[in-house]
Amino acid sequence: MLKQGDFLFTSESVSEGHPDKVADRISDTVLDAYLTADPEARVACETLVTTNRVILAGEVRGPSSITSEGLIEAAREAIRDIGYDQAGFSWKNAEISNYLHAQSADIAVGVDSAGEKDEGAGDQGIMFGFATNETETLMPAPLYYSHKILKTMRDLRRAGDPRAKGLQPDAKSQVTLRYLNGKPVEATSVVISTQHDEGVDQNVIRNELHNIVKDVLPEGWMPADKEFYVNPTGIFVIGGPDGDAGLTGRKIIVDTYGGAAPHGGGAFSGKDPTKVDRSAAYAARYLAKNVVAAGLADRCTLQLSYAIGVSHPLSVYVDFDGTGKDIDEAKLVKVLREVMNLSPRGIRQHLRLNRPIYTETSAYGHFGRTPDEARDTFPWERTDLVDALRNAFNR
């Protein structure tokens, strides 16, 4: 977790065209297809992508209206939307195999509610949430800017903007910030590796990206030219799943807090919200964000733990890292349990998670995103508990 004092800290992001993110996108596309047909569907979808090949595997329970052919076409459309129509990986002719099968009855009996038994957690595990007031999104600044650089490149590429001429979908960014007295004050280095059309001059790419990054970072934060690295290997023509195999769930630090906070180890994409790896991590972020938004602390780390088939968290832990505003952390734990039902069912109902809202989460981070009120996306980013938390502590 980020400390007080003076130091350098680095986070990275990867684009929607990174092989692992292509896999995440397809897994969440499968999930959304099932939740569209049945909000109570169960999905644990893993995806492998490589040169012109996609493999779906895992366990599902849902309506027969979801066919293998339909899922394959949905995966193909996801690839098309990302922008892949290359010799080594194309939405048109990639071979897509579906090996999804029925969910284990042993898991179902532990998770499903029956009689007096409430719905249990879909697995054991620990989940962390984190928030810090160093950015407007209450996210760590190095990750915030790493994501923003790639999202800007994506938007310009899709719009056909000349500032992204020749860029292809696969890209990575890395931002190192200097902290003074625990606050970010400048970028000391920025690294971008981006796939590009064959024959594009690297100096042209560097100039394009320099202007993009300068616009993204706060004024005066742009690092010295010698600390601005673009395609350090020289060229990056062969990329995406043709350049490297991708798997669901391999970018869990990019998906969460960029290394600035602990991580319980569970991935998100392709998992329905009965899986606490996903839903409880969203709940932990939601609570931590509301604590910081309420002004109770500058930073908040929150841990939840669960056991498979058990309907309540085994523990709730809060740490302000010395930034609390005269708040008793033990009392806060009690208050948090009161303002939100932290059972798997309670989390799903409070955040309305049984909806097809997950495709958008598959790239550029699950946290720090702006909720869309019309579509009610990213509901765990709302700050609607602020008043209740302030009232509990007479603020």
Catalytic residue among 74, 245, 307, 388: 245
Going by their DSSP bridges, the two strands 95-102 and 53-61 should be labelled as parallel
Catalytic option among 16, 28, 32, 46 = 46
User: Is 46 a catalytic site residue?
Assistant: yes
Which letter does DSSP use for residue 121 in this model? B
User: Is residue 384 within 8 Å of 160, Cβ to Cβ?
Assistant: no
Is 382 one of the catalytic residues?
no
Q: Coil, helix or strand for 127?
A: strand
Please give the Cα distance from 54 to 95 (Å, whole number): 6
Q: Is 374 annotated as a binding residue?
A: no
- Which residue of the set 38, 40, 59, 360 is catalytic? 59
Q: Does the annotation count 226 as an active-site position?
A: no
Is 331 known to sit in a ligand binding site? no
From 61, 76, 151, 251, active-site residue: 251
The residue annotated as part of the active site, out of 9, 130, 236, 367, is 236
Contact 145, 195 (CB under 8 A): no
Catalytic hit among 32, 255, 272, 277: 277
**Helix or strand (DSSP H, E) at 176:** strand 167-180
Q: Known catalytic residue: 116?
A: no
Task: Give 137: exposed, middle or buried? Use CB within 10 Å, 0-12, 13-18, 19+.
Answer: buried
Helix (H, G, I), strand (E, B), or coil: what is residue 266? coil
Active site residue 214: no
- Residue 129: phi and psi, rounded to 5, are -125, 155
Q: What is the largest CA-CA distance in the chain?
A: 67
Residue 183 known to be catalytic: no
* Residue 20 is labelled as binding a ligand: yes
Residue 251 is labelled as binding a ligand: yes
Find, among 256, 263, 346, 331, the residue nearest to 291 by Cα.
Answer: 331
Secondary structure of residue 307 in the 3-state scheme: coil
Q: Which of 186, 244, 329, 360 is the catalytic position? A: 244
Reading the block at residue 261, the tokens are: 């906070």
Out of 18, 148, 285, 299, pick the active-site residue.
Answer: 18
275 marked as part of a ligand binding site: yes
277 noted as active-site residue: yes
Annotated catalytic, 172? yes
Catalytic residue among 61, 154, 196, 250: 250
Residue 59, annotated ligand binder? yes
Annotation-wise, does 250 bind a ligand?
A: yes
The reply to whether 267 sits in an annotated binding site is yes
Asked if residue 298 belongs to a known ligand binding site, the reply is: no
| Cα–Cα distance for residue pair 250/263, rounded to 1 Å | 13
Nearest to 212 by CA among 253, 256, 159, 136: 159
| Annotated catalytic residue 77 | no
Angle made by CA atoms 133, 130, 220, in degrees to the nearest 5: 40
> Which residue is catalytic, options 9, 12, 16, 20?
20
Residue 153 has which token pair? 């490149």
Q: Is 117 a catalytic residue?
A: no
Q: Which of 21, 148, 196, 289 is catalytic?
A: 21
Q: In whole angstroms, give the CA distance from residue 128 to residue 82.
A: 30
Confirm or deny that 18 is annotated as ligand binding: yes
- Strand, coil or helix: what is 97? strand
Active site residue 20: yes
Per the annotation, the verdict on 352 as an active-site residue is no
The annotated binding site is made up of 18, 20, 46, 59, 103, 170-172, 244, 250-251, 267, 271, 275
Question: Which residue ranges make up the annotated binding site for K(+)?
Answer: 46
Annotated binding site for ATP: 18, 170-172, 244, 250-251, 267, 271
Residues forming the annotated binding site for L-methionine?
59, 103, 244, 275
| Active site (catalytic) residues | 18, 20-21, 46, 59, 172, 236, 244-245, 250-251, 271, 275, 277
Report the binding-site residues for Mg(2+): 20
